[in-house]
Amino acid sequence: MKTISRRTLLKSAAATAGVTLAAPFIAQGALASSGTVNIFAWAGYISDDMLAAFEKATGIKPVYTPYGTNDELLNQMRASNGSGYDIIWPAVDRVPNYVEFGLIQPIDEAKVKWDSALQSAVKGSETLGAVVNGKRYQVPTDWGTEALSFDKKASPLEYGKASYGDIWKPEMKGKATIRGHSGLVGLGLWLETQGKLPKPMRDSFKDEATMRANYDVILAEAIARKGNIVQFWANENEAQGAFRTNGAAIGQTWDSSAAGLAKEGLPIGFVAPVEGALTWMEGVSLPVGAKNLDQAYEFVNWMLTPEAGALYANHTSINTTAVGADKFLSEASKNFFTAAYPGDALEKLWWWPVQENWFVAIRNEYQDKFLSA
């Protein structure tokens, strides 16, 4: 499968958190200078500052509704037959799910300012799920990773030695946190390096027989080591709570989860494991029932400006695809990025393959067996 040129993408992308801008960005040549845009996006993705800046730049009133997981978003869109919102924010590897159910519409590429986005992200997203049957259904706006968060005092980790396997060591009993379905993937990648999987982990995404062969092994190992898990998480608040209040010393979490805890002053680090950080891309898609399309495209293009990209990165600690946003990043942000992906970590990123509906259904089946064991 053709993937993004990691080095090109990551050198150009804004690393993580940004800076407070000295002055608001004012849009030039706005197509829609009034009206409303209804945004259904991840909880924590859109700040009050972003909402105010977008409205000042365009004259459009943004209405933001948060959700917590990809599955929550998909279920809501299925329940409403793709109506109720003008913008949604799915992970790129899940976009084909929405296309299959007829929930999103093709992007009118003539209305997007593509030069404002990292070209490696635009091109790479074509094979990661944004383009289905020759039509584009998503504009990539951000990317990030799920890797190892750790308490620097209780469980220090070092790049080059840190592994998903560290989560499952006997000494981590009652001290680890993971998300059910992606935790099984991380465990699978470690088992693959140990020669314990019948097929390569990535082949699990190709067909049901291969997936079940691998996941039977992964599930058995996970159940045997389940005592390590002090808390499962499904969203960012839960992941952070595991470290904040429930005694987790190590975990497989999003980069933004660790960065947020570090901002609170907690001794939490974040580093890519030797198996490769699980890497995702996200972006804006338009539901079939969107009623404010001009305003939606204004939001898309605003998100790709350097100023908006920096506002987003500053708020979320997630990387933006907006060209030039890196100019606005603080030294602290750059230091977080460098600590998370030192050495050859950028070359080893493990990009999520497309998760088709059959895969998601079986993935959830194994997750439920693990959680209930």
- The 3-state secondary structure of 172-200 reads HCCCEEECHHHHHHHHHHHHHHCCCCCCC
Where do runs of H (alpha helix) occur along the chain? 6-12, 48-58, 70-79, 95-100, 119-125, 180-193, 208-224, 236-244, 255-263, 293-303, 306-316, 331-340, 357-372
User: Do 287 and 245 fall into the same domain?
Assistant: no
Token reading at 195: 């020669």
- pLDDT of res. 84: 97
- pLDDT of res. 237: 94
- pLDDT of res. 33: 57
User: Do 236 and 101 fall into the same domain?
Assistant: no
User: Do 22 and 76 fall into the same domain?
Assistant: yes
Please write the tens of the pLDDT for every residue from 150-200.
999 999 999 999 999 999 999 999 999 999 999 999 999 999 999 999 999
Residue numbers of the chain with a pLDDT score lower than 70? 1-33
- Expressed as residue numbers, the domain containing 58 is 6-143+281-345
- pLDDT of res. 337: 85
Report the number of distinct structural domains present in the chain: 2
Cβ atoms of 91 and 67 closer than 8 Å: no
Judge whether 289 lies within some domain.
yes
User: Do 93 and 54 fall into the same domain?
Assistant: yes
| DSSP character at residue 13 | S
- pLDDT of res. 32: 47
User: Do 185 and 326 fall into the same domain?
Assistant: no
User: Do 116 and 159 fall into the same domain?
Assistant: no
Tell me how far apart the alpha carbons of residues 28 and 14 are, in angstroms, rounded to a whole number. Answer: 23
Token reading at 171: 């000494």
| CA 368 to chain centroid | 22
**Kind and range of the H or E run holding 253:** strand 250-254
Q: Is 93 helix (H, G, I), strand (E, B) or coil?
A: helix
Judge whether 1 lies within some domain.
no
